[in-house]
Amino acid sequence: MGGDHGPAVTAPAVTAFLAGHPDIRVRLFGEPAVLRALSDDRSGRLALVECSQRVERDDRPAHALRHKRDSSMWRALQAVAEGNADACVSAGNTGALMAMGMAVLGTLPGIERPALCAQIPAVSGRVCLLDLGANVDCGPEQLHQFARMGTALLQVGGSDRPPRVALLNVGAEGGKGNRAVKAAAALLAADSSLDYQGFIEGDQLLLGQADLVVCDGFVGNVALKSIEGLARLLLRRLRESPGAWRKWAAQPLLAEAFGFLDPAQYNGASLLGLRGVVVKSHGGVDAAGFGYALGTALAEARGRLPERIAGLLAAPRPDHSTDD
């Protein structure tokens, strides 16, 4: 029921996904009339599950948690908790999804709140940025957890080579950074389960030199939104500028340049650290975009991501003091 378009996007996306993946089944949670009107399943592998409530975009997480236990969001998470589903995908309220995920599924040992992680297109391949705002005021231990959880995420369905991990910082040299980043650098460098590369600055984020960039959620949120803000601004300026034929001529160039800014192309942020697979779709995407999020969830469920993360988190900590 979530996102800007609700079942008008999610229902057709599920229909297409079922057609493309003959070995999966989907449970679609939502208000009955809407679901019935929109879903034209021919696969026989779609189940509609009726819910009397929905979480609204501006519901406060604490409110949703208390008063919306028959919402599509809560019920879908419950299906994962009860073993009736292997993953949950939602385009709804991120804060509510996080709070309900914690309440329904619980977190892995040592994790206080799940981290939010997106893979954004870079010059070569993709870069995975976490945390994106779920955790602020992160200490060095938490940044270290992010590095391990992100490493597990990137190994799911990929090669066994550990991904290259970098810490987002204000400079590349050793002495730079705030207290948490300096202490985290020592932890990451001493951890043999990670391929730690060192610091990375904001202007290097999209260059693909690291597979995984770790940062406090406040910083990651501002970085990602700053990038999105500039992209949107440029597109707006280009649309407003005069000269129709020039604009037409520029189209392929612009498509190439801005293609990788399309949220549908890097859709599906993972909530890492929960005892179950939960993927958050961008609220504004179309059915194709929502399909990416479904694919992300499928890969994470097949790769048993929560078990992998639990394994990496339980690995012995590097023997290194953090008395910075």
Site residues for its own copies per CB under 8 A: 60, 123, 133, 136-137, 168, 170-171, 175, 177-179, 181, 201-207, 215, 217-219, 221-234, 237-238, 241, 243, 245-247, 249-250, 252-254, 256-258
Closer CB to its own copies, residue 207 or residue 315? 207
Q: How far is the CB of 260 from its own copies (least distance, A)?
A: 9
Q: Which is nearer to its own copies, 27 or 176 (CB)?
A: 176
Run of H or E including 46: strand 46-50
Which tokens go with 66? 């208390």
Residue 140: CB minimum distance to its own copies, A:
13
Q: Is 121 exposed, middle or buried (0-12, 13-18, 19+ CB in 10 A)?
A: middle
- How far is it, in rounded angstroms, from Cα 82 to Cα 80? 5
User: CA 78, CA 69: separation in Å to the nearest integer?
Assistant: 10
Of the candidates 138, 168, 182, the one whose C-alpha atom is nearest the C-alpha of residue 273 is: 138
How far apart CA 3 and CA 286 sit, in angstroms, is 10
HSE-CB of 311 using CA atoms within 13 angstroms:
11
Residue 233: is it exposed, middle or buried by C-beta count within 10 angstroms (0-12/13-18/19+)?
A: exposed
Region of residue 110 (phi > 0: left; psi between -120 and 50: alpha; otherwise: beta): left
Between the alpha carbon of residue 63 and those of residues 93, 95, 315, the distances in Å are 12, 11, 37
CB of 161 to its own copies, least distance (A): 25
At its nearest, how many Å lie between its own copies and the CB of residue 267? 17
Give the residue with the Cβ less far from its own copies, 24 or 223: 223
**Which residue, 246 or 320, is less far from its own copies as judged by CB?**
246
Q: In this complex, which beta carbon is closest to its own copies, that of residue 76 or of residue 130?
A: 130
Least distance from C-beta 207 to its own copies, angstroms? 7
Q: Which is nearer to its own copies, 35 or 181 (CB)?
A: 181
Minimum CB separation of residue 203 from its own copies in Å reads 3
- Closest by CA to 224, choosing from 250, 202, 254, is 202
CB of residue 320 vs its own copies: minimum separation in angstroms?
21
The CA distance from 231 to 221, in Å, is 15
Beta-strand ranges (E) seen in 55-194 are: 87-90, 115-121, 126-130, 164-168
Q: Which C-beta is closer to its own copies: that of 88 or that of 143?
A: 143
Nearest distance, CB of residue 235 and its own copies, angstroms: 9
Nearer to its own copies by C-beta: 118 or 305?
118
